[in-house]
Amino acid sequence: MAQPRDFGFGPEETMLRDSVRRFLDQKAPIDRIRALVAADHHAAYESPEPPARWDEGLWKDVVELGWTALAVPERAGGAGMKLVAVAALAEEIGRHAFPSPLLATLHATFVLAAASTAAANTWLGRIAAGDAASLAFAGENGSWESESVGVTAREEGDGVFLDGAAHYVLDARKSAFFVVAAKNAAGVGLHAVPSDAAGLSIVPDRIVDLTRDQARLVFRGVRIDRASIIAPPPSGGDALRRALPALLTIAAADIAGAAEWQLQTTVEYAKLRTQFDRPLGFFQAVKHPIVNMMLAIDETRSLVYNAAAAFDHEPERAEAFARMAKASASDTAAFCSSRSVQLHGGIGFTWESDLHLYFKRQLHSQFLFGDGILHRRKLAESM
Amino acid sequence: MAERSETPEQTEFREHCRRWLAANRPEPTSFRLPQSPIEVMTEDQRVYLSAWQKKCYEAGLVGCDYPTEYGGGGHQGFQRIASMEMTRAAVPYLVNVIGLGMAAPTILHHGTEEQKKRFLPPLFSADEIWCQGFSEPGAGSDLASLTTFAARDGDQWVINGHKVWTSLAHFASWMILLARTARDHKYEGLTYFIVPIADTEGVTVRPLIKMTGETGFNEVLFEDLRIPDRLRVDAVGKGWTVAMTTLLHERGAAESAGGGGGESIESRIESLVDLARRTPRDGGTSWDDAALRDRIVKLAIRAEGLKQSQRRSRVEGLVDHPMRVPLQSKVLLSELLQDIAAVALEVEGMASTLYLGDERAPDGGKWPLAYMNSYGFTIAAGTSEIQRNILGERVLGLPKSK
């Protein structure tokens, strides 16, 4: 099936994006974000319990505005919007470095939608109603491949019991439930586990990024009833594979938005700051790397919308295009972070500057769901 | 497969292009064709390529979007389709590239009715080849410092000066010329002309030899060349404005410039992968080398990014600044072509030392040639450094570096 020339990005998607941008500009400007997550450097990195700071009041507004229901299929009570619309939303989340479980919830949404079972629909309904969710499927080695799943499922009586650990779970302490990949002899299955389930421990990681939290989930005989088996093995692995392009695209869109903030902030600084009686941007040693940031961002952004449109309209090419988008995005994240700090000079290296919030978020995003080296290797294998 | 937002007329035209190109693919040549139209060296090459452009013009694939009274097709949005299809069919490129890409749009925007009627039809048919006279030995990136002087003498202009890097001048009937008509104003002292080149008293065309050993571009000397005032384009002193129209088209997307044909980026990437798969290296092939493979896939991603950016630049909701993506095309494309060739040399390893004429040279020695020629594209039409200044200043609003 052919993709629409305009990626399927029409007036409705533009309106959604603009309204998201307006809302976040107003409710989550950078000074408010920094007051929330970076008011104090001791609290950020040295408190006994790693912080997971977010504005729960604002989250209620986000749910009210329908952002969590956006990607939930209509059959499960959501808006059933396409991935291009979700990508635009993710770009704005990245641009504002917005601390919330929204992207984690969108990731979970696409996995549940790919599973397409009655149980999946039930849990999708809870997302549409405002529950935050996150995916628990990375193994200890940080790989998002089915083979690396570190949780095992065993059937006993009328239930399934989970044991083991899932790593690098995004925004775990902001989530109401988890979509957990667990394997048995038949393959990988998917299970919905409420965050307060008996036998589940959420062990927070100490992470660099201040705008997210992350944890290891430890399962000790966590009992799953039949209604919470989202996809029995091996169909859970298939659902993960089908959803993977959406996960990569959303992560890449977040990076593109954050990188655009890094670009515009560096441009403004290069116009205002003077040295040698000239604004910094006069000097080509400053101007040209800034332009290179823009070139990197535009490549990533174009590949993001192509990947989204492929997921929506051309599924046979979705995986390759999504890997291209995430490979490009990971490199863009690293490059824009590096240049934004370097070109600001001394101030860019301080806690006082806003740059480090984005620098750290990008560092996290660069590796989330695999970096450029991984995705280029996967692409080469398919060429 | 039709593109989904095309009009029925455009879809029908695309079908026409495909059918016609499939049925009229030219015979392969016994001589080597240069890698791009600005490198045309010999009369054999010119005759072959001019005949091909003429055939394409007669089939309605050239000048499609120009008004019919100037020899065009009178359509809208057809040229992009024809160019895409020519590239897809991998037929030879159109030789009158400077005419189509730069002279024609400039004449259409700024020329007189008489100029449009006289010059456009033979430009489309390649009966008359065009070249461009902007750069000079002392005026490269700082183009407006040029000194070639046109002195008014009644109803005539007398031109003296020296232009360089003029591709196709040795075959050209006409040149678009930027000359100084007043010495006291840098920018307002420039005027734009059309000047005759072939067999013209006061004009000397001399080949410049490129680092590749090939000819293909030239220097042009004007000694008291006399031209009538009706060959002036737009007002006296407006040359810089007119030249900006030319450069806008020169630097814009190659696909819409009326070019088309030649080797597409996608097919260059495919050639590179193919080269890696058949090049022995360290007991296996170059494709087995993870580091080389990573570089190749990086290039494939850049190529796809460039293609998707051209697509995105036409989607209103995904464009922040109208010139942001279009002004990137030249620097991205030229640097990508350069890097593709550079990686091809690494893929070939020691065999990349073998050049044209060596029977053991992989692909006839085309990659070292392409690598050297790639500097023509990163330097010509505003160097990559000038392109980055333009992007920084016009799109991002950074202070001017001058």
Q: Is A212:A364 a contact under the CB 8 Å cutoff?
A: yes
Chain B residues within 8 A of A301 when measuring between CB atoms: 312, 318
Query: pLDDT above 70 covers what percent of chain B?
Result: 96
What integer is the mean pLDDT of B121-138? Answer: 96
Cβ atoms A88, A16 nearer than 8 A:
yes
Instruction: Encode pLDDT of B317-375 as tens digits.
Output: 999 899 999 999 999 999 999 999 999 999 999 999 999 999 999 999 999 999 999 99
Backbone phi and psi for residue A68, each to the nearest 5 degrees, phi listed first: -75, -25
pLDDT in tens, A358-367: 999 999 999 9
Instruction: Give the whole-angstrom CA distance, residue B185 versus residue B179.
Output: 13
Chain B residues within 8 Å of chain A (Cβ atoms): 1-5, 273, 290, 293-294, 296-298, 300-302, 304-306, 308-309, 311-312, 314-318, 324-325, 328, 331-332, 385, 388-389, 391-393, 395-401
- Judged by phi (left if over 0) then psi (alpha if -120 to 50, else beta), residue B262 lies in left
The confidence band for B251, taking pLDDT boundaries of 50, 70 and 90, is low
Nearest to B401 by CA among A286, A232, A26: A286
How many CB contacts within 8 angstroms connect chain A with chain B? 138
pLDDT tens per residue across span B194-244: 999 999 999 999 999 999 998 878 999 999 999 999 999 999 999 999 998
Calculate how close chain B gets to A291, using CA atoms only, in Å. Answer: 6
pLDDT number for residue B216: 77
pLDDT of B151 over the 90 cut: yes
pLDDT of residue B263: 76
Return the HEC string of B111-148.
CCHHHHHHHHHHHHCCCCCEEEECCECCECCCHHHCCC
What tokens appear for B84 in the block? 């895409």
Q: Considering B128, B136, B219, B250, which one is annotated as catalytic?
A: B250
Tell me: pLDDT of B277 over 70: yes
Q: B169-201: per-residue pLDDT in tens?
A: 999 999 999 999 999 999 999 999 999 999 999
Q: Is residue B109 within 8 Å of residue B248, measured between CB atoms?
A: no
Give pLDDT < 70 ranges for chain A.
1
What would the two tokens of residue B245 be? 């129209």
The angle at the Cα of B249, spanning B248 to B253, to the nearest 5 degrees, equals 105
- Say what the alpha-carbon torsion angle B382, B387, B389, B391 is, to the nearest 10 degrees: 140
The dihedrals phi and psi of B120, each to the nearest 5 degrees, come to -70, -45
List, in order, residues 6 or more apart from B287 with CB less than 8 Å away: B273, B276, B277, B279, B293, B296
How far apart CA A326 and CA A338 sit, in angstroms, is: 18
Q: Tokens standing for B198?
A: 């072939």
On average, the pLDDT of chain B sits at 92
What are A325-355's pLDDT values in tens digits?
Answer: 999 999 999 999 999 999 999 999 999 999 9
pLDDT digits (tens, 9 = 90+) for B67-79: 999 999 999 999 9
> Closest Cα partner for A179 from A168, A160, A166, A192?
A192
**Known catalytic residue at B250:** yes
Cβ separation B301–A283 shorter than 8 A? no
pLDDT at residue B259, rounded to an integer: 45
Residues of A in contact with B319 (CB under 8 A): none
The pLDDT assigned to B53 comes to 96
Portion of chain A with pLDDT greater than 90, in percent: 95
pLDDT of residue B262: 65
- Give pLDDT, residue B280: 95
- Nearest-Cα residue of chain A relative to residue B294: A376
What are A240-262's pLDDT values in tens digits? 999 999 999 999 999 999 999 99
Chain A residues whose CB is inside 8 A of the B393 CB are: 287
Instruction: Supply the ipTM of this predicted assembly.
Output: 0.95
Chain A residue numbers touching B326 (CB-CB < 8 A): none
